[in-house]
Chains A and B, each alone.
Chain A
Amino acid sequence: MRWLGRNGLILLPPAFLLIFFFYPIISLFIISLAPDGVIDLSGFADLFKTDYYLRIFLFTTGQAALSTLITVGLALPAAYAFARFDFPGKSLLLSISTLPFVLPTVVVAAAFSALIGERGLVPLHLEGTLTIILIAHVFYNYALALRMISSFWATQSPRIEEAARVLGAHGWRLWWDIRLAAIRPAILAASALIFIFCFTSFGVMLILGGIRFATLEVEIFRQANSLLNLQIAAALSIFQLALMFALMLVYTRLQAQTSTDIQAAQTVTRKPKTRGERLFVGGNIALMSLLLFAPLIALLVRSFRSADGWTLQYYSALSTNVRGSVLFVPPLEAVANSVVYALATTVLSLILGLIAAYGLARRGRLSALLDPIYMLPLATSAVTLGFGFIIALDEPPLNLRTSRALIVIAHTLVAMPFVVRSVLPALRSISPGVRGAAATLGASPATVLRLIDLPLIGRGLIVGATFAFTVSMGEFGASLFVARPDTPTMPLVIYRLLGQPGAINYGQALAMSVILMGVCAISFLLIERARTLGIGEF
């Protein structure tokens, strides 16, 4: 009992996961395997009756593989440019390039519809094609690949290349046997992560792909939400869940390899000297800027433009509930909803994440076990999560179906891993000796917490909080299941508006997307600032 008194708090995050993550997932298992209390595998059997689901699976895999290949292929030269060359604006560009990472999928989808297509600035008829989906996936993951590969590349001592050259390597052998081979772990890790993201792609697919393309994720949503075929949906969810966990395991293995780097992490960059080098660096900057800015600028421009020229009508329409609209409330109310949900999510995930991180920082067998478990909600697709929620939490013992808390809980599941990841490195860097030293110098436990822990993890906390806020603002898949129609969030409103005909609906969707983009961009600035300050201080 005394142990529990002292350590009871530690149990809070695992308990939260148990109730709100594992219980819904297990409910999905039960629905798919034994919907009426007896084992009934017909749900899984149905999956193999026709080649319908096989085709969906193959398409999902194929588009994810293709997206990964294109993204990594495009990011590889840029990663080399960033790892080996110095050029003006480099760190700024690298910072900005991460922006897509915090942008909600619906905003990205809206931006691409504003850029390309019959309603877009570039009148190429790509809507509903694989091409535009691939482009959006590249937009999303390009910076991720760039960062993972270039940061690993930069730690590779240039001496290694020189050693190879002295030993007789040159030309393509130097590239193939040394430069590329040495960064293979980073390439594989980035590929695995991007594949996972693209495999479970939902918002982009739903909005840009139209009815022609469905990933597993979209199909789960359709089966559960439109066709009310819960058993099939649950079976698909379980299948995808197993696959994603396996892939996540592969990813963490690969990721671990990128950190067993024996070379001194001494970054050696130089200005591009020859014309070829300048062209190479410049070309990569141009491609990066085009990819990054074109859709965002298109979104901004289109939100201010109607058939009759520049206008603010889309923005002003947000505050009124247009008759015959698909929404029950004026769109602007969604902004308030989203902010309230996001603030609540931030508080809850900070509390839980901080406690979890303290538990993990102790190291030991238990934390080694808990560490990957805390990451599980991230590897679980949002749709699966939302679906599990409405299956499990809409009946006693836990009936939260009509509660607004459901959204906050769902968002917290996704946000908490970010908090843990942001705080944990700082917490682990505080050696026990530091706290002990403070204590022997007369600091009480509370003082130690205030003067030692807090300053050291402060930045991590800010980053974690901002991530939590941003994740909640943009969350789409799970919200689609659990949000009540009268309290929609911004992404849901954007999605509904995009699905409607009419210029005013479309314009409102873009205007709302711009607002959401603004909120995320500000959060992003905060995160980047905290990060760069953190680097500058140590």
Chain B
Amino acid sequence: MLSVVGITRSFDFTPVLRGVDLEVERGEIVCLLGASGSGKSTLLRIIAGLERPDSGDIRLDGASILNQPVHTRDFGLMFQDFALFPHMNVAQNVEFGLRMKGIAANQRRERVREVLALVNLSGFDKRDITRLSGGERQRVALARSLAPNPRLLMLDEPLGALDAVLRERLILELRDIIKTVGLTAIYVTHDRREAFAISDRLAIMNDGVITQIDTPANVYRRPATVFAARLLGLGNVIPVSDWRNGEAITPLGAFPLDVQAPALLLHPDGIELGERISGVVTESVFQGDTVQISLTANNIPLSFKLDSRRASSYPRPGNPIQLAINPAYIIPLKP
């Protein structure tokens, strides 16, 4: 439905986007995951029409919308600081987009009621927005974006201003609402848990380009780059010094690897107790169902989770430890 083609954009001669391509299908939620400053927000602003790209094109169902002014694009955009209109109450905020479309007052009222019910804010119509909690503001902002039935909903770190507990609850609600309405959505975040929870497809954005896009499970299981592995919280990245005959040579020994790569990931999910690598435990943290174990092997820090039901006594800091690696979890990483 939406095609982003070769978008570039620089600010003061510093490139922020260096040729971004992205396809979004109707009804799917695509999440852009990246560190701050990776150009995610700029990309959203360009799609919305708040910024112009230096080059490239934005197409909707095949037709370019690059020269269409922002107010005619019929997109929804939710900001991190919500950008609620401080001089309007909840209902006036929510109906703003409908008013701009010239929809009659009684129809507007009907729609506002509908959308407020959808975001669980029924009865908040007359409430002053200065008297809302953070979570309530977030819902109003969502309701405001939803009310005019946008062709595409974009969310720029919509939970960034909220605390962790609230975030975990709201992300599922958010996905529920978007799916109920059947919207196409692009969700921008730097939080991998949010990204996992909400997206149908997850795009890793680094330094102005999208380096990988796939289902969250696939991206997590097989990150493509060192950066992606770090972003996803996967720490066991080992430098590869040499590669020959399908084997990568590393400080921890040789591992089977079908392609040449400068580094590889020993995915924590594929590490068990065994006899392949020896190291010394530096930290072990009991987390209930699992035990998070950190160790160093040949001066390289590694970590993995041990199923706590399977180990009656688990390794203590200072103890030697021996690990086995499931070959399917040895992932080549591009730089």
List the interface of chain A (C-beta within 8 A of B).
Answer: 156-157, 159-160, 162-170, 173, 177-178, 181-182, 184-185, 260-264
Set of chain B residues within 8 Å of A168, measured between Cβ atoms:
71-72, 74, 97, 100-101, 148
When the two chains form their complex, are residues B48 and A166 in contact, meaning their CB atoms are under 8 A apart? yes
When the two chains form their complex, are residues A184 and B87 in contact, meaning their CB atoms are under 8 A apart? yes
Shortest CB–CB separation between residue A414 and chain B, in angstroms?
A: 35
Shortest CB–CB separation between residue B122 and chain A, in angstroms?
A: 22
Shortest CB–CB separation between residue A183 and chain B, in angstroms?
A: 9
When the two chains form their complex, are residues A166 and B129 in contact, meaning their CB atoms are under 8 A apart? no
Once A and B bind, how many residue pairs between them come within 8 Å at the CB atom? 79
Given the interface pairs A167-B148, A168-B71, A168-B100, the reply to whether A162 lies near B83 with Cβ below 8 Å is yes
9 tightest Cβ-Cβ pairs between the two chains A and B: A168-B100, A167-B97, A159-B83, A163-B83, A170-B71, A166-B77, A160-B83, A165-B70, A168-B71
B:35-84 near A, CB below 8 Å: 45, 48-50, 69-77, 79, 81, 83-84
Set of chain B residues within 8 Å of A164, measured between Cβ atoms:
85, 96
Set of chain B residues within 8 Å of A262, measured between Cβ atoms:
84, 86, 129-130
When the two chains form their complex, are residues A162 and B81 in contact, meaning their CB atoms are under 8 A apart? no
Question: Could you list 6 further interchain pairs (A-B, Cβ under 8 angstroms) beyond the known A167-B97, A170-B70?
Answer: A164-B96, A167-B144, A168-B71, A169-B96, A170-B71, A261-B86
Given the interface pairs A165-B50, A166-B75, A169-B100, the reply to whether A178 lies near B85 with Cβ below 8 Å is yes
Q: Which of A168, A169, A178, A182 has the most CB of B within 10 A?
A: A168
Give which listed residue, B45, B49, B73, B130, contacts A260 with CB less than 8 A: B130
Shortest CB–CB separation between residue A212 and chain B, in angstroms?
A: 42
A331 to B19, CA, bound (A): 77
List the interface of chain B (C-beta within 8 A of A).
Answer: 45, 48-50, 69-77, 79, 81, 83-88, 96-97, 100-101, 129-130, 144-145, 148
Give which listed residue, A165, A169, A182, contacts B86 with CB less than 8 A: A182
Set of chain A residues within 8 Å of B72, measured between Cβ atoms:
168
A452 to B79, CA, bound (A): 41
Shortest CB–CB separation between residue B101 and chain A, in angstroms?
A: 6
Set of chain B residues within 8 Å of A185, measured between Cβ atoms:
87
A139 to B132, CA, bound (A): 41
When the two chains form their complex, are residues B101 and A159 in contact, meaning their CB atoms are under 8 A apart? no
Set of chain B residues within 8 Å of A166, measured between Cβ atoms:
48-50, 70-71, 73, 75-77
A181 to B85, CA, bound (A): 9
A185 to B84, CA, bound (A): 16
A162 to B154, CA, bound (A): 13
A260 to B87, CA, bound (A): 11
Shortest CB–CB separation between residue B199 and chain A, in angstroms?
A: 22
When the two chains form their complex, are residues A182 and B85 in contact, meaning their CB atoms are under 8 A apart? yes
Q: List 24 A-B contacts (CB under 8 A).
A: A156-B86, A157-B81, A159-B81, A159-B83, A160-B86, A162-B77, A162-B83, A163-B84, A163-B85, A165-B50, A165-B71, A166-B75, A167-B148, A170-B69, A170-B71, A173-B100, A178-B85, A184-B87, A185-B87, A261-B86, A262-B84, A262-B86, A263-B86, A264-B81
User: Residue on B with the closest CB to A266?
Assistant: B81
When the two chains form their complex, are residues B86 and A167 in contact, meaning their CB atoms are under 8 A apart? no
Given the interface pairs A167-B148, A263-B81, the reply to whether A182 lies near B97 with Cβ below 8 Å is no
Q: Which of B71, B72, B73, B101 has the most CB of A within 10 A?
A: B71
Shortest CB–CB separation between residue B104 and chain A, in angstroms?
A: 16
A69 to B50, CA, bound (A): 34
Give which listed residue, A160, A165, A260, contacts B85 with CB less than 8 A: A160
Set of chain A residues within 8 Å of B130, measured between Cβ atoms:
260, 262
User: Residue on B with the closest CB to A168?
Assistant: B100
Set of chain A residues within 8 Å of B84, measured between Cβ atoms:
160, 163, 262
A173 to B102, CA, bound (A): 12
User: Residue on B with the closest CB to A178?
Assistant: B85
